[in-house]
């Protein structure tokens, strides 16, 4: 998983707890001189930890609905549902508009994935995805592989055209989201 994800430009780290993930996010934002962070889908208690950290670091943890902060959203911290090792792909159920806006508009997306959720290839998640799709309710499911990219000018690869410029993947050992 790590090898393939790195090959497509994802920055991968292994960590052992959610609090480490939160710390990573805050440190990264400070390092990049950015200001704001969104964390849709995070547990309330994890969000509390993050909020405290943000406050002490002078960062702004954005309140939902994120649509209201669309033009000032720098960073997104979210869980993802599966990793697909064969291509370094992340699967993210993005039915919630908050998740979509955060992961599409932010210039940095930090994704957290429990290592136990890594699967070999798309055929290994096909049944789960099919369950989502065959359900009668609306759904929006994303496969994300590396940062946003284009080669539309002279076939030269350029990163970060409309979506995130950086994708960070935090592989979390032995815990469930």
Partner 1 sequence: MIKTAQDMKSYKKLLDQALNDSFLRSALDEFNTAYRENRPNVYKDLDFNSIRDALAENKDSLIPFLEILYEEFKLNAEKAGTTVHRAKDAREANEIIARIARENKVQKIIKSKTMTAEETFLNDFLEEQGFMVTETDLGEWIIQLRHEGPSHMVMPAIHLSRYQVGDLFEEQTHSKVDDENIDKLVKVARHVLRPRFLDADMGVTGANFAIADSGTLGLVTNEGNMRLCTTLPRVHVALVGFDKLVSDLGSALGILKVLPRNATGQAITSYVTWIKGANQCLNTSSQKKQMHVIFLDNGRLSLSKDPVFHTALRCIRCGACANVCPIYAKVGGHKYGHVYIGAIGLILTLFYHGKENDRAIVKNCINCQACKEVCPVAIDLPHLIKKTYARVIKEDGKTPVKNFLLAKVMKNRKLFHFILRKAYLAQQPLTKGKPMIRHLPSFLEKTHGFRSLPVIVKTPLRDQWQTLSPKLENPSLTIALFAGCAMDFIYPNHGKDLLTLLKNANIQVDFPMNQTCCGLPAMMAAEEKTARTLARQNIHAFEGEQYDYILTLCASCASHLTHNYEKIFRETRGPARDLELFTNKIIDFSSFMDKVFKFPQTSQVIHKKVAYHAPCHLCRGLHVTNEPRALIKKAGYTYVPSKDEDVCCGFGGSYSVDFPEISSEILTKKLDNVEASGADILVTDCPGCVMQLSGGMDKRQSHVKVLHLVELLAGKK
Q: Which residues contact 120 (CB under 8 A, 6 or more apart)?
A: 84, 85, 86
Q: Is 33 in the site for partner 1 (CB under 8 A)?
A: no
> Which of residues 87, 170, 171, 173 is near partner 1 by CB under 8 A?
87
Dihedral sign, Cα of residue 100, residue 102, residue 103, residue 107: positive
> Which of residues 3, 63, 154, 174 is near partner 1 by CB under 8 A?
154
The rounded distance, in Å, linking the Cα atoms of 123 and 115 is: 18
Q: How far is the CB of 61 from partner 1 (least distance, A)?
A: 19
Q: Is 141 in the site for partner 1 (CB under 8 A)?
A: yes
Size of the site for partner 1 (CB under 8 A): 52
Neighbours of 64 (CB within 10 A): 15
Site for partner 1 in 103-122 (CB under 8 A): 104-105, 122
The rounded distance, in Å, linking the Cα atoms of 165 and 162 is: 8
Q: Are 129 and 119 in contact (CB under 8 A)?
A: no
The rounded distance, in Å, linking the Cα atoms of 158 and 152 is: 9
> Which of residues 43, 57, 126, 175 is near partner 1 by CB under 8 A?
126
Q: Is 60 in the site for partner 1 (CB under 8 A)?
A: no
Q: Is 38 in the site for partner 1 (CB under 8 A)?
A: no
Which parts of this chain interact with partner 1 (CB under 8 A)?
A: 4, 8, 65, 67, 70-71, 86-87, 89, 95-97, 100-101, 104-105, 122-123, 126, 129-130, 132-134, 136-156, 158-164
């Amino acid at each position: 998983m790590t090898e393939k994800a790195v090959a497509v430009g994802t920055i991968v780290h292994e960590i052992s707890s959610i609090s480490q993930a939160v710390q990573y996010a805050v440190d990264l934002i400070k390092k990049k001189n950015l200001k704001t962070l969104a964390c849709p889908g995070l547990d309330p208690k994890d969000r509390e930890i993050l909020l405290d950290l943000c406050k002490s670091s002078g960062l702004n943890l954005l309140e939902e609905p994120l649509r209201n902060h669309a033009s000032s959203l720098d960073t997104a911290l979210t869980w993802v549902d599966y990793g697909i090792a064969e291509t370094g792909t992340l699967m993210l159920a993005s039915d919630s508009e908050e998740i979509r806006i955060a992961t599409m508009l932010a210039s940095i997306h930090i994704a957290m994935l429990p290592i136990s959720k890594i699967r070999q290839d798309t055929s290994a998640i096909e049944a789960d995805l099919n369950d989502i799709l065959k359900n009668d309710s609306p759904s929006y499911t994303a496969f994300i592989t590396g940062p946003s990219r284009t080669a539309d000018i002279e076939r030269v690869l350029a990163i970060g055209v409309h979506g995130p410029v950086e994708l960070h993947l935090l592989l979390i050992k032995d815990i469930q989201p």
